[in-house]
Structure 1
Amino acid sequence: MRHAVLAVSTLSLMLPIASAATAQSVPIETRVDRLEKEVRAVQRKVFPGGAPIEPEITRQPAAPAQIGTPASTPLSDLMARVDALEGQLASLTGQTEQNAYKIKQLEDAFAKYKADMAAATASTVSPPPLAATPANASAPPKVTPTPAASDARRNAVAVVERPETGDAAGDAYTYGFRLWDAKFYPEAQAQLKSALDKYASSGFASRISNLLGRAYLDDGKPALASVAFYENYQKRPKGDRAADSLTWLGEALIQLKKPADACKVYSQLEQDYGSTLSATLRGMMEKGRTRAKCGA
């Protein structure tokens, strides 16, 4: 469509309104032939692979001449055809420019959202600056984790079974799911990030990326979750968890207190996957719209 917009825009710039002197210098038959060729060229670019809209410029059956009314001349017929062609060309130009404007608005909105999410992520993962300790102040006691507690967690994680089916990508996803399901969220995040790095082009990539977002969200990290969800939708819009990621992205944005952005996400979700949404995802979307006060 962008190539079509460029073609129409270029063509519109090449067709300024002719002055009276120019119209007189170019034969009317030449203008008609040129305009018809240009309209057909525009239609082929605007409607590739489909039947173009046929211009309504065919000659109308001549009405019976009334007594006292002069018959139309070939020149007047040609002028009528020129007017019809120029009118249709202007209509096509306006339509493609309007489509280009809508596409530009959508791209700008998503670019702004991604920049906001990157800033939110940076502020979330960056440690706060350490305050200077006065020279005469005693250093705070160093806190070390209790060995018994650390050992107990490692032992509990070790109990989670690693699948070995021979499908490396599937096994990596399943093990991450088992860690997440057991509420070992940091371990699940590490496992899923590693799996996504190794198997980003596999059939399991959509599931891995979506589950990584869930592991962040359940661990109280909505900013990191929103980045994972958005990247999964952006990179794999036809993946089997793309709609899930867009739905959960709305939830993450609500938790980040960005209801307006959440409403935009729900609108995109309805536009892209509305007819295929499961009952569960649709229910989440409707509840999210209510919480975000979309349309209020």
Structure 2
Amino acid sequence: MHRVVVLALDGVIPFDLATPLEVFARVRLSDGSTPYCVRVCAATPQVAAGAFTITVAHGLDALADADTIMLPGCAEPANGVPQEVVDALRTAAGRGTRIASICAGAFVLATTGLLDGKRATTHWVAADLFARMFPQVELDPAVLYVDNGQFLTSAGAAAGLDLCLHLIRRDCGSAVAADAARLSVMPLERDGGQAQFIVPEQPPVPRGSTMEPLLRWLTENAGRDLTLDEIAAHARMSTRTLNRRFREHTGTTPLQWLHRARIRRAQHLLETTGQSVDRIGGAVGFGSPTAFRDRFKRIVGTSPHRYRSSFARNTSRTNHSSS
């Protein structure tokens, strides 16, 4: 039987802790047997878990018998990890134990040094902090999970379910994983990555900046099919000067800034209206449906149709058959 040990540190996020417990414990093989034995361990008998405290029966010695160690996230990922936990995880890794993190649990795994030089992910909200703390790790914040073989990391919340189902498929095959997915009311595979859950930031309009009038004009006219030459003419600059000054003030180019403003508007329309995808693309300023779809997928990580399926509110959808 495959032994899964979930490590609970002080401040553990209850959802992250419960995910592997529920998913692995409910797995059944075709003969009805249970392939996983799941337990929780901690460095102390009691662990704070947000609104409540949990009592843990097993200490860190349980990690010595684990086939897979799951690392849930903690509410304050920058608080550090006790040295005894770091040592226990490194010892387990030396024995070949598989170690996987959920959400900000990637901070725990990265603290051990086991992710150095490897690709990893974490919740997009914590991505900048992770990148600053662990520059030696190749962070990819746009995916749901990363499988390096022995070490795996996943993004926030529901991505922990994706990772657990992936591990079940690795261990037991697709049929068993599909049954586990149905029990969790989850697809076995989801389209896109974290990018579809990250609303692109509204391009900044710095107050008092000499570029502020132009940026506000761009915002008001984002629905037009503007060219770089038109933008430069309005700003009374050459295109070369415009690009240079624009990057100095915003960190990006005029057209990239404009594309993100358009996509943000498109996301809002996809969520709140029943307009067709093609009509929305035209309304936000894209010259063709193909250009809109390509740009949307590049920025958001999924298609407009799939984005709408995931995030549309309860509105009347009478005319979006073209998707």
TM-score, structure 1 as length reference: 0.22
Larger Rg: 1
TM-score, structure 2 as length reference: 0.21
Q: Which has the higher helix share?
A: 1
Q: Which has the higher strand share?
A: 2
